[in-house]
Amino acid sequence: MDQQPNSPIRPKHLPSHMINGSSPLVTQENRDARERESAYKSIKSSMGPKKEPVDLEGNYFQPHTSAQPRDKRPSRLTNLDEVEARDPRDDWSSQQTSRASSPYTLAPTIDFDGLSWPSTGTRERLESTPEQAAARQEKLAGAVRTLLECIGEDPEREGLHGTPERYAKAMMYFTKGYEENLRDIVNGAVFHEDHDELVIVKDIEVFSLCEHHLVPFTGKMHIGYIPNGRVLGLSKLARIAEMFSRRLQVQERLTKQVALALSEVLQPQGVAVVMESSHLCMVMRGVQKTSATTTTSCMLGRMRSTAKTREEFLNLLNRR
């Protein structure tokens, strides 16, 4: 029977936030904060504890000026041959992680000096004198000479003459990302812009070394973000990818590092990074699957929480 025009309207039993689609307990800001925290905890399995956003309005990457002495590594790392993974001048704070601690898990996304997840010996290499750098390269060349001897080769034969020195120089270039930092990479190229739609840079070529076998993996990275009042110079996206790839890496960590670094620098509404690559460690050895490729992704903010936004990003990636 049709409802009479003057009959009272029955009250709805649904809460108001289920009708209008927004809960007073779950705001966009709270959701974004939880997603960022989740991403931090994920990458802490390979890198970093506490992460502080970069203050682009002031002087970012300020040196630590406290007169208080800095704490050293926690005693639980004594099983790692008593090696401190970071310079004692660096800050660190004890945080629980989902996995066991390692030299990588106690480093923040962006250090006070911008080194971004330095590993053992990173600052020593960065601050070495020309004499120390030459001694380091000579030591590396000697190790390559030993390697050639161990595989049954003659380092003195014509074809291998000078190979140890050449390889030493090449390896230092392959890992030059350890000496770079976000402060110099960004170089102030952050601009205020009233744009709140997707910005995507596709097909960034990436070359890195697998940390498990020291053989290359190569591919392409696609980076997208939704600005929140600030944009980054387009070339800086490729430079950030280059900085993190020129280290000993695994693809999963590399993808997260680029996403979190961009998130820290810009504080955008959302970040998405997708990487596709071929790993020679499973092409020229092991299972030897020459056509196999690996795809990894990291989504933050609206790119993770909003399915339509994520779908738009992925659809744009597939357009040629």
Q: Is 210 a catalytic residue?
A: yes
How far out from the chain centre does Cα 92 lie?
18
Tell the burial category of 80 from Cβ atoms under 10 Å away from its Cβ (0-12, 13-18, 19+): middle
Tell the burial category of 217 from Cβ atoms under 10 Å away from its Cβ (0-12, 13-18, 19+): buried
Catalytic residue, candidates 251, 257, 267, 269: 251
Catalytic residue, candidates 222, 249, 279, 298: 279
Catalytic residue, candidates 124, 127, 211, 311: 211
Q: Is 251 a catalytic residue?
A: yes
End-to-end CA distance of the chain: 57
CA angle 280–138–180, rounded 5-degree value? 60
Q: Is 298 a catalytic residue?
A: no
Catalytic residue, candidates 213, 252, 276, 312: 213
Q: Is 279 a catalytic residue?
A: yes
Tell the burial category of 275 from Cβ atoms under 10 Å away from its Cβ (0-12, 13-18, 19+): buried
Structure-block tokens of residue 142: 């000697």
Catalytic residue, candidates 84, 95, 281, 312: 281
Q: Is 212 a catalytic residue?
A: yes
Task: Measure the CA–CA gap between 203 and 276, rounded to whole angstroms.
Answer: 9
Q: Of all helices (H) and strands (E), which one includes residue 203?
A: strand 199-210
Catalytic residue, candidates 37, 149, 212, 311: 212
Catalytic residue, candidates 95, 137, 153, 210: 210
Give the bridge partners for 216, in sequence order: 209
Which residues are marked as active site? 210-213, 251, 279, 281
